[in-house]
Amino acid sequence: MRATRVAPTGIERTFREDEIIVTKTDTRGVLTYANDVFLRISALDEDDAVGQPHNIIRHPDMPRAIFKLLWDTLKNRQEIFAYVVNLASDGGHYWVFAHVTPSYDAGDRIIGYHSSRRTPDKAAVTAVAELYRRLRAEEQRHSSSPAALEAGWQLLQDTLTGRGQTYDEYVWELTNGGLR
């Protein structure tokens, strides 16, 4: 388990196109399962990952607004596709194209979340990294966490409205070779 915050090194870690990173969490976002690809890329041992909050791999360059979107979508019982940059325990970073879905019990209650991540297209990462840079810059202009989140969220909504798109439409345009 990380005792202190890991500083990003700027060194990018990658995984093969035929590999999939898989994790499962409970409803609070605590890791209940992590596959070997996740453990290798995040530079964590299973004992250091399972039982920890999934945000153990949160990169400081990820906008809060994107995590708000993710959690709001999941709580509405919907799946989400998103581009995410994660922070490995050695300070390296890695980009993923994530698909996150709620998991249900026999009574149709959400009991956790399942995430599968693939290697993203480099051009898509370049485009989404610019959006995320702008969101983080807006968030960092505010001293309180709630104000930062609200400012980032508003900029995300304004950006998407200006494009005439939802986040899903934006992501799929990137994924299908648009916005280059």
Q: What is the pLDDT of residues 50-103, one digit of tens each?
A: 999 999 999 999 999 999 999 999 999 999 999 999 999 999 999 999 999 999
pLDDT at 5: 79
Task: Please check whether residue 9 lies inside any domain of the structure.
Answer: no
Q: Please count the other Cβ atoms lying within 10 Å of the Cβ belonging to residue 16.
A: 8
- Domain for residue 61, yes or no? yes
CB-CB contact of 129 with 137 (8 Å):
no
Find the CATH number of the domain harbouring 145: 3.30.450.20
Q: Is the pLDDT of residue 179 over 70?
A: no
User: Considering the domain boundaries, does residue 2 fall inside one?
Assistant: no
7 found inside a domain: no
Sheet holding 80-87, edge to edge: 31-34, 21-25, 110-118, 93-104, 80-87
Number of folded domains in the chain?
A: 1
Containing structural domain, residue 155: 21-175
Q: What value does the mean pLDDT take over residues 29-52?
A: 97
Q: What is the pLDDT of residues 137-164, one digit of tens each?
A: 999 999 999 999 999 999 999 999 999 9
The answer to whether position 145 is within a domain reads: yes
Residue 69 lies in a domain: yes
**112-116 mean pLDDT:** 97
